[in-house]
Amino acid sequence: MKDTKTVFVTGATGFVGRHLLAAVIHKRLANKFNFILLSRREVPVNPDFQLVVADLCDEDVVRKQVRKSDVVIHLASVLDSSDKNLEKVNVDASLDILRSLKKGAKFIFLSSATVNYPIKTRYANSKLIVEKRIKESNINYTIIRPSWIYGNGSRSFEKLLNYAKNSRVIPVINQMIQPVFVGDVVDLIINSTDKYDRETIEIAGEKIAYQSFVERIAAFFGKKPLVVRLPYVFFWLLFNASQILPIKILTKDSLVDFEYSTNVDLKLLKKKYGVTPKSVDVVLSEKLIE
């Protein structure tokens, strides 16, 4: 009988992390793996999981867990490019994990499709730096580059849901997007524990107009708001105006997302990796959001 593998998960209590743990329980993977979760605060967890309460930048604690793990799933990161601790968390802590991996361990790194944008935010640059160092190393890895991940528990998606349910008029960017459901990203993470060695995988959903995405979600909840498409210049002006206001209406990261679109080849994703992300219609029909 094979020994149970130890899996160390950073960002376990975040948006993607919570969905990952729910999938682990649903798929009964706790019988196959010994899961150790890193959290900055004490939170209730399933008894099948071991919780380690520490900051990602607590080198001694994190190194100890990484060195005894067969698989490290690194989800934790700072998303806001204006955060002064971004490089400390996204780059320094990530590279320390990379250096601490034991021989033969698998490193699953959640990056971002924004690394492909012509103009890169601090967040995208931080992911790109770590990607480069991972690829230069001799470790076994899978780098996952998702587009915008949506699902319950995402702050940005919950905000959109609130607008869809309660607003009569919703202004949106006149743009095509490729949102990917969180469950599809989680499935790819789980499959990467024993597949896709030394691969960088871009994952996204169907290409859909932002307006249509919002309208379909609103219709699912029995709402029919007026969704107004606005040009990029409107949001550029809004961002610059918000710089002198006490409340930031729009972040630089959002502005860059509005300017560029992901362009993931879904046929290649299916042919090479056997991955077919759910369309928004399927997600809604299966009642995977609420």
C-alpha 150: how far from chain center: 9
What is the spatial distance between Cα 68 and Cα 62, in angstroms, rounded to a whole number?
Answer: 10
The answer to whether position 60 is within a domain reads: yes
The pLDDT value given to residue 3: 72
The answer to whether position 32 is within a domain reads: yes
C-alpha 281: how far from chain center: 21
The pLDDT value given to residue 1: 41
With CA atoms as reference, report the closest residue to 151 among 115, 127, 185, 192.
185
| Sequence-separated (6 or more) residues with CB below 8 Å from residue 255 | 235, 236, 239
The burial of 88, by beta-carbon neighbours within 10 Å (0-12 exposed, 13-18 middle, 19 or more buried), is given as middle
Fill in the DSSP letter of residue 151. Answer: S
pLDDT string in tens for the chain (290-residue length) = 457 899 999 999 999 999 999 999 998 887 889 999 999 988 888 888 999 999 999 999 999 999 999 999 999 999 888 889 999 999 999 999 999 999 999 999 999 999 999 988 999 999 999 999 999 999 999 999 999 999 999 999 999 999 999 999 999 999 999 999 999 999 999 999 999 999 999 999 999 999 999 999 999 999 999 999 999 898 888 888 877 777 677 788 888 888 888 889 999 999 999 999 999 999 999 999 98
CA angle 73–74–77, rounded 5-degree value: 155
The pLDDT value given to residue 220: 95
Q: HSE of 185 in the Cβ direction (CA atoms, 13 Å)?
A: 32
What is the spatial distance between Cα 29 and Cα 190, in angstroms, rounded to a whole number?
Answer: 9
The structural domain count of the chain equals 1
Give the domain CATH number at 57. 3.40.50.720
The answer to whether position 229 is within a domain reads: no
The answer to whether position 24 is within a domain reads: yes
The answer to whether position 288 is within a domain reads: no
The pLDDT value given to residue 2: 56
Query: What is the biggest distance separating any 2 CA atoms in the chain, rounded to whole angstroms?
Result: 64
What is the spatial distance between Cα 249 and Cα 243, in angstroms, rounded to a whole number?
Answer: 9
Residue by residue, DSSP assigns 157-213 as HHHHHHHHHH-SEEEEES-EE--EEHHHHHHHHHHTTSS-TTEEEEE----EEHHHH
Stated pTM of the model: 0.93
The answer to whether position 105 is within a domain reads: yes
The burial of 226, by beta-carbon neighbours within 10 Å (0-12 exposed, 13-18 middle, 19 or more buried), is given as exposed
What is the spatial distance between Cα 142 and Cα 257, in angstroms, rounded to a whole number?
Answer: 24
Q: Six-digit token pair at 127?
A: 């992911």
Q: Which domain holds residue 272?
A: 5-151+178-206+262-279
The answer to whether position 251 is within a domain reads: no
The answer to whether position 87 is within a domain reads: yes
